[in-house]
Amino acid sequence: MMIYYLRAIRDLRNNKFLNAVTVVTIALSIMIVSAFLLFFINANQLVNSWKQGIRVMAYLQPDMTALEISALKQQITGMAGVEEVHYISKQEALQLLRAHLKRQSSLLSDLKTNPLPDTFEIRLLPSARNDKKVEQLAVEIENLSTVDDVEYGQDWVGRLSYIVRLFRLTAFAMGGLFFMASVFIVANTIRLVIYSRRAEIDIMRLVGASDRFITAPFYIEGLILGALGGLCGILTLLVTFAVLTARFEGGFAIGLMEIQFLPFGHVAAIIACSMLIGWLGCYLSLKQFLRYDTTEAQ
């Protein structure tokens, strides 16, 4: 086995330019795809944190009695996906509005009557915090005769979910394209190395060398090129991420969420994928070469 590694290292040294081009190509592909993955992971984390703050606000009909309000609260609490129902009277709502306006609270001083309605603030279970289930629950609550109107931020919830799905599809498409491009580059690099050593390979075959003895160093070379490309791509992305986050105090803190780099498991999977790129490119190149060589020999 050691002889295979030694031959692979020798080939890497003898074809520095071709191997450097291959490593750079894989590194760029890995960096771009990993950047999409980094964005998607943090965007998904941001969406989840926002979904935790999703509330369905049910505005009640005026002049409802305490008994009617209590019965309505029990009815809404029993609906699927509801975690908690909090009653906010119109007096409490006005106080909250004054506190929110702070210095502009004087705008409300001329009010003769309270224009705000009694409200139920409805918190949802984690399993119900997606746009479809929130909309279903909002429609169910709005159909109640004692509910005047329902609001749950339907515009930004739908748009945000659409944007995340769009970036997910883009990441998959870009990943597939760069994967195929990297395999193609690796295959051509290995093919050039094979043809440059064709005389040596023919001599090894004449003295009885097996296909495994001939091809094993190339597979090792492909794995090494893939690993180097993956490491270079991840390190480049890490440096770029560190430089960008260093410019912002708090590390891009957005509310309660802080943007993080790719988890170790994802990094390991990316490196493994880049090694697969190297192995697959080598396999395609060797398969074509051995088929051509066997046909020529016949």
pLDDT attached to residue 215: 77
State phi, psi for 229 to the nearest 5 degrees.
-65, -45
* Residue 246 · residue 155 · CB < 8 Å: no
Average pLDDT of every residue of the chain: 78
57 strand-pairing partners: 121, 151
Q: Tell me the CATH number of domain 55-152, given options 2.60.40.10, 3.90.1150.10, 3.10.450.50, 3.30.70.3040.
A: 3.30.70.3040
Q: How do residues 57-69 score in pLDDT, each as one tens digit?
A: 888 988 888 898 8
Q: What is the pLDDT of residue 158?
A: 66
Torsion of Cα atoms, 66 then 68 then 69 then 75, to 10°: 150
Three-state secondary-structure class, residue 148: strand
Whether residue 297 is predicted with pLDDT greater than 50 in this model: the reply is no
Indicate the DSSP class of residue 117.
P
What are φ and ψ of residue 86, in 5° steps? -115, 125
Residue span(s) of the chain under CATH 3.30.70.3040 come to 55-152
Q: Is the pLDDT of residue 38 over 90?
A: no
Task: Determine how many CB atoms are found less than 10 A away from the CB of residue 35.
Answer: 18
User: Looking at the predicted structure, is the pLDDT value of residue 81 above 80?
Assistant: yes
pLDDT digits over 151-182, tens only?
Answer: 876 666 667 667 777 777 877 787 788 778 77
Paired sense of beta strands 82-88 and 119-124, if any: antiparallel
In the predicted model, what is the mean pLDDT of residues 83-90?
A: 87
pTM above 0.75, yes or no: no
Please give the residue that has the higher pLDDT: either 271 or 296. Answer: 271
Q: Is the dihedral of CA 64, 69, 75, 79 positive or negative?
A: positive
